Structure 1
């Protein structure tokens, strides 16, 4: 992955120029992945997986979905574009519609000064681009795909936890460590044990 003059080795502070550049570079890379015919889950480094997300993302009910997006806050309607997108976790299937979405998304880069790629995709959804492209999509409820913006109230169901609404790496690490400790404590209780088949 060529980064030209940019150096992404260290922390890129949220909404800094290097951060925005890094996010757009990622979008370009993911477009290449889709063009090669691969489906993928995009998961940020600050997302903890507590359970297997594929048991929810790849079911008979989701076969027709092209893209499944996480949200900072979930309004109760999985097809409502008023759900605020979070591009730190999403599942995309490779097809002509999703490839065109990512192409259009990246085309906005040069006319989106000061906006990160997530803001641009949010604006695109508000303008009806997903529907115009014929995409089947849903937003993931935060009860299952949780984050610090809107925490899941159900530890028996939560699948992932994202350190969103948390700006700096040190704070993310500290807060996610707390989440992991709570999860391990929960799992240590014999009454909360699940079988391997239930976790698949």
Structure 2
């Protein structure tokens, strides 16, 4: 509220008394906190790891059917065994794989004596075959951690990790290209690169 003595002040005047020689008589000032905001701590801990079981479906995919005619690819930022990396989510692929050089760098735990082999067409010219598998932990977003087996092979997909529909359907991940995100279960979003 204004009082009568402050009405005549302009921007250059501050209401302090000045002596004729230019010295100011200083008045004590007081600082008053008028508002405070409470800062909430954000819990940045990772959720527990989810082991993907064969035939299990999470999120949207628990009730929806997958249309194989629609093929989309998207890059997301994630972590494999706590190492940050770009991950390719590919709806045209039906396999999850990691490059042999990246697997060697991470020193992943290989799964022996599983008795299976995989032939892949479409990544490199010709047919690629592998019998190597490894158990890895993939983190997407802040709290979604998945443990599963991947195939190890030298591929030229442009990234070290490719996750196909055999990962996305059980994990409950869907691509939302309109909003530029990968939707995780509980509607968490990971931005596309």
**Smaller-chain TM-score range?**
under 0.3
Which structure dedicates a bigger proportion of its chain to strand? 2
Tell me the TM-score normalised to structure 1 length: 0.24
Which structure dedicates a bigger proportion of its chain to helix? 1
Query: Larger Rg: 1 or 2?
Result: 2
